[in-house]
Amino acid sequence: MVLSGLQDRLAPLKSWLFPQRVYLQLEDQAFTAMVLDGDRVAWLERVPLPEGLCVNGQPTAVEALGDLLGDLLVERGYAGARVKAVLPRAATAWRVIEWPGAAWPDSPELVVRQQQAELDLPWTLQDADLLLEPLLGDPPRSLLVAVQREVLEAWIEVCSQAGVALDGVEALPICLWRAVNPQLGEGVQLLLQLEDQQSWLLALDRGQPLGEWPLPPEVEPLAAALGAWAERYGPSGGVVIGSPTPLESWLGCSLIPFEPPAGSAALWGLVAGEQQL
């Protein structure tokens, strides 16, 4: 009894000295949280959000979202946690940049910001924070990930309201790519994410990102879109997340289902990214 009481009194100090890592997927409809104990999932929970608190990836009620997240972490024993998060898809955008003149520029971010019209992003780069990562191959290319600055600042404020430290954020497609990459083969490979309202095709060539395409969820338009895409890019295989459909006959290549150990593929991609550091 004495030991138990001592452990209870030491718990806040332990939490302060050794804060727990919480991996968090942020969506318009829900928070999904995961904590690992070694390779074991110690906590996994998806918490639906009231409608309208987050719209198109952007918090519309920062204080309410922060209180909800903070209360959840306190109730589950993870107060004061350090968080890494997957941002909603609508909050980020990414492109593969081929550098002009087949040479690395001296000021790559400046060159990118001058290519605003060519990149066809959903919002202006003047209002975005950018991440550029070099890609393998020739000619020189980079992966550009852009996040709306206003959205990022809002999520930082949500975490501050919740009493947790936000150590980093990642784009959803990049986390998905990282999660399925060990299962991909040679040549052009694809990841299909099938959902009720919107499906997505993420393609990679020789392990490097090729592009991402929104797809209709309905069967006949989906079949037509996949057939046209396959005719152009000639995929050799890939993985699929979501309910099974006769995809292989539309694509002309074999697909394998991706089933994460638990929870969402994006969260495991977030974990993989941290382990690579």
Instruction: Indicate whether 78 and 157 sit together in one domain.
Output: yes
Instruction: Indicate whether 78 and 8 sit together in one domain.
Output: yes
pLDDT, tens digit, 9 for 90 and up, residues 35-50:
998 888 999 999 999 9
Q: What is the mean pLDDT of residues 227-249?
A: 82
Instruction: Indicate whether 123 and 217 sit together in one domain.
Output: no
CATH number at residue 165: 3.30.420.40
| Integer Cα distance of 138 and 195 in angstroms | 35
At residue 32 the predicted structure's pLDDT band, cuts being 50, 70 and 90, is very high
Instruction: Indicate whether 163 and 58 sit together in one domain.
Output: yes
> Whole domain around residue 19: which residue ranges?
2-89+151-171
**pLDDT score for 258:** 82
Mean pLDDT, rounded, of the chain: 84
- Asked whether the beta carbons of 193 and 176 are under 8 A apart, the reply is yes
Instruction: Indicate whether 167 and 41 sit together in one domain.
Output: yes
Residues 257, 260, 265: CA angle, nearest 5 degrees: 95
3-class SS letters over the chain:
CHHHHHHHHHHHHHHHHCCCEEEEEECCCEEEEEEEECCEEEEEEEEECCCCCEECCEECCHHHHHHHHHHHHHHCCCCCCEEEEEECHHHEEEEEEECHHHCCCCCHHHHHHCCHHHHCCCCCHHHEEEEEEEECCCCCEEEEEEEEHHHHHHHHHHHHHHCCEEEEEEEHHHHHHHHHHHHCCCCEEEEEECCCCCEEEEEEECCEEEEEEEECCCHHHHHHHHHHHHHHHCCCEEEEECCCCCHHHHHCCCEEECCCCCCCHHHHHHHHHHHHC
**pLDDT score for 244:** 57
Angstrom distances, CA of residue 47 to CA of 27, 30, 89: 10, 5, 18
Tokens read off for 274: 């941290």
Q: Under 8 Å CB-to-CB from 274, ≥6 apart: which residues?
A: 21, 84
pLDDT, tens digit, 9 for 90 and up, residues 168-203:
899 998 898 888 887 888 889 989 888 777 889 999
pLDDT, tens digit, 9 for 90 and up, residues 64-76:
999 999 999 999 9
Tell me how many domains the chain contains: 3
Instruction: Indicate whether 112 and 237 sit together in one domain.
Output: no
Q: Under 8 Å CB-to-CB from 70, ≥6 apart: which residues?
A: 79, 161, 162, 163, 164
Pairing relationship of beta strands 255-257 and 237-241 according to DSSP bridges:
parallel
Instruction: Indicate whether 180 and 271 sit together in one domain.
Output: yes
> Is 90 exceeded by the pLDDT of residue 25?
yes
**pLDDT score for 125:** 84
Instruction: Indicate whether 222 and 140 sit together in one domain.
Output: no
Instruction: Indicate whether 80 and 136 sit together in one domain.
Output: no
pTM of the model as a whole: 0.84
Count the neighbouring beta carbons within 10 Å of the beta carbon of residue 157: 16
CATH number at residue 204: 3.30.420.260
